[in-house]
Amino acid sequence: MGNSVLTPLEILVIIGFSAAGAISQGCLGIGLALVAGPALVAIDPGFAPGPLIVVGQVVGIRNVIVERSHTDRQAVRRCAFGLPFGLAAGLVVLSMVSDEVIALLVGSLAAAGALSLLCGFRIARTPGVEVATGMGVGFSSMTAALPGPAFVLTFSDMKPATLRGTVGSVFLMVAVAAMIGLIATGEFGLYEVELIGWLIPGILLGLGLARFVRPLLDRAWFRPAVLLVALAGGLALILRQVV
């Protein structure tokens, strides 16, 4: 399953993109898999979903703890109602498709999520929509380790600190449930643990740098720049699979 030996260039790409993704996640509350996922899956499809879900919690737990006073707990509870249904559906899909389909799914979700956010697409928030968002987050997490787009389409009106804390709380539940499902179905093993080891240096680097980048959140160019990187990566991964 995937590459057994990584080249020096691939290692640099893994560290660079995982660091960039961790910076985005540490600042915006989303972005690890959105920014890093396409490049990582192009190197080895095994990076999604398990390894990306696990390392996402290195950043996510920081957000849960530091931003706990800003967390929208009602939104977290409503998302939690929808999560099991999305996770179950994603697990069924994951068990039926090949690595190539997973790569195409990651690229498509990354590109579609980034494009919709760049275009300013928003969904009016209601309790039912928040439950449906939980379903979408669960499905996209299980199939492609990409929970962010579904969440932000609904909760984009939140302030950055509230978004980070709320997203972190939901993603923590997703990670625990998803990993139980992946291990139980044989979709996560020692090889995925090895891939996590390659991600950790970049994640720690990005987490450290995020504290210096957070002040840039108020600058108009920062969020679009992150989304453009995600869009380009998603499109490149799609082209890799279809050309």
2 in any annotated domain:
no
Contact 41, 237 (CB under 8 A): yes
Domain count, the chain: 1
Contact 36, 114 (CB under 8 A): no
58 in any annotated domain:
yes
Domain that residue 222 falls in: 8-242
- Dump pLDDT digits (tens) for 193-222: 999 999 999 999 998 999 898 887 666 776
Instruction: Supply the pLDDT for residue 44.
Output: 93
Contact 40, 144 (CB under 8 A): no
1 in any annotated domain:
no
Residue with the bigger pLDDT between 100 and 152: it is: 100
Other Cβ atoms less than 10 A from the Cβ of 215: the count is 10
83 in any annotated domain:
yes
82 in any annotated domain:
yes
Rg (CA), the chain: 16
Which percentage of the chain shows pLDDT scores above 90?
35
15 in any annotated domain:
yes
As a whole number of angstroms, the distance between CA 37 and CA 14 comes to: 10
221 in any annotated domain:
yes
13 in any annotated domain:
yes
